[in-house]
A and B are shown apart, each in its own frame.
Chain A
């Protein structure tokens, strides 16, 4: 694969993009998980799917290629994120109500656009589950720009975002503009979803954001450590997932997510085993 990596541009683009999203998805994901927005990310990815279907429809019916499905997906994702914020404000007591509303809207629109286009071919499939050969040079640059934006924002408002996630009341007392930060954050989420969809596919984007954190949280002490572990695990999964995807000729979304699930299950198993041994040692101490 190394040889083909040097030989084929598209593989190189895929790999570089993969490494970028292996970093930003778990970075943002750490905040998504502690703020209990995991399902929100999932809902947003379905809106992104509607955007992609819209872009494909446009391409098929009008032949216009200036607005690629990537851009329309990005656009839908960002607009959808603003809708979520609006809904969350309308239903302060039932904020998770925004999830089924947005999710079903996304799926409904996707079905509509797909029907209007009389179905799509392999293109849509690659958007659903990712592809090792789908990333263009231009896509790669856009992902890079998104990554830079995400890093700058997170780096600048890290402590505000952290405090807001942990204790909203204290954040308000400290004069932190909660609404502005909420909105920024959800837009960032939309951007990262759009950036990740070429590699892992729309349906598995939220997995790349949350599974590494689910693993990291079990290994780490504290929040910074959780972020670091999550990123390491995210990178590992993307690299291994892409290689497996390339050789087995399967969409990398599947191999990345399955790898993550395998790691998660092994770690839970190992921790369970360790605890069992600890308690049985204690029992034998008592006996002996």
Chain B
């Protein structure tokens, strides 16, 4: 047994036959790590996260999640994910903020189980962490983009995951709240939640994470962000 919660060995991936998006990736993450992924648009960061989440299937190589081959990994409630496109949902959808956060409990409750009082409490606690309790009964479609993003973060937190995966979670969140949000992440990390985050907010990344990787078809650990001043401008 190792304490590695993610172990990727020699994984390559392509959506179409002619274009390799990720090539011979080796990557691992230990329990308690706070890992940042950076890289240009189209570099393959989201694709890598989706491989880890089982949404994409690797063409070759092996992926182990919590010491289990990904094909056999069943403890879905250990991982929570905030997608880059989280607030691209149908704005007219009739769901309150509370109902959206409750969705985060689906995997940990399991099928046939219903939301009870203690779960409502957990929902409230999660909303408190992102400072959104006063919107609990509002329709999610009526909130601003940044507020919605905070609700989706609450949805990820509510199940108390061991690993939190965030894909550009602070896009559209104002500066004050970005700073608050990263402080929250650091606090969660101190409570032994492992974090894997994609962000273009280099300042915030530099101040908070323990390891940074640069993803652009390949992956490499980087020691100092200063070596990569231009990659956010895009292109290879």
Contact = CB atoms under 8 A, between A and B. Distances in A.
Interface of A: 34, 156-160, 162-163, 166-167, 169-176, 217, 220-226
B212 to A, nearest CB: 25
A158 B98 CA distance: 16
Nearest to A156: B112
Contacts of B193: none
A160 B83 contact: no
B107 A166 contact: no
Given A162-B103, A167-B103, A174-B76, A157 B111 contact: yes
Contacts, number: 75
B94 A223 contact: yes
A217 B95 CA distance: 10
Contacts of B55: 169, 172-173
B106 A166 contact: no
B66 interface: no
Interface residues of B, number: 33
Contact of A221 (B53, B96, B109): B96
Interface in B7-32: none
A160 B111 contact: yes
B74 A220 contact: no
B216 to A, nearest CB: 24
Interface of B: 53-55, 74, 76-77, 79, 81, 83, 86, 89-90, 92-96, 98-100, 102-103, 105-107, 109, 111-112, 114-115, 137-139
A231 to B, nearest CB: 14
B139 A221 contact: yes
Contacts of A217: 92, 94
Contact of A156 (B103, B106, B111, B138): B111
Nearest to B105: A159
Given A167-B103, A173-B53, 5 more contacts: A34-B93, A160-B111, A174-B107, A176-B107, A221-B94
A223 B79 contact: no
25 contacts: A34-B90, A34-B93, A158-B114, A159-B105, A159-B109, A160-B106, A162-B99, A166-B93, A166-B103, A167-B86, A167-B103, A169-B55, A170-B103, A171-B106, A172-B55, A173-B55, A173-B76, A174-B76, A174-B106, A176-B106, A221-B137, A223-B94, A223-B99, A224-B99, A226-B94
A224 B100 CA distance: 12
A176 B108 CA distance: 12
A222 B139 contact: yes
Nearest to B80: A173
Contacts of A175: 74, 76, 107
B219 to A, nearest CB: 22
Chain B CB count within 10 A is highest, among A162, A172, A221, for: A221
A159 B115 contact: yes
A173 B103 contact: no
Contacts of B107: 174-176
A220 B93 CA distance: 11
A172 B94 CA distance: 21
B236 to A, nearest CB: 27
Which 10 A-B pairs give the minimum distances between C-beta atoms? A222-B96, A174-B107, A175-B76, A226-B94, A163-B103, A223-B95, A163-B106, A174-B106, A156-B112, A159-B106
A34 B89 contact: no
A170 B95 CA distance: 16
Contacts of A160: 106, 111
A139 B55 CA distance: 45
A261 B227 CA distance: 65
Contacts of B105: 159
Chain B CB count within 10 A is highest, among A160, A170, A223, for: A170
A159 B139 CA distance: 17
B54 A173 contact: yes
Contacts of A163: 103, 106
A194 B104 CA distance: 35
Contacts of B111: 156-157, 160
A222 B95 contact: yes
Contacts of A220: 94
A166 B99 CA distance: 11
A162 B109 CA distance: 14
A222 B109 contact: no
A172 B81 CA distance: 11
A258 B180 CA distance: 53
A159 B102 contact: yes
Nearest to B77: A174
A172 B79 CA distance: 12
A162 B95 CA distance: 10
A32 to B, nearest CB: 13
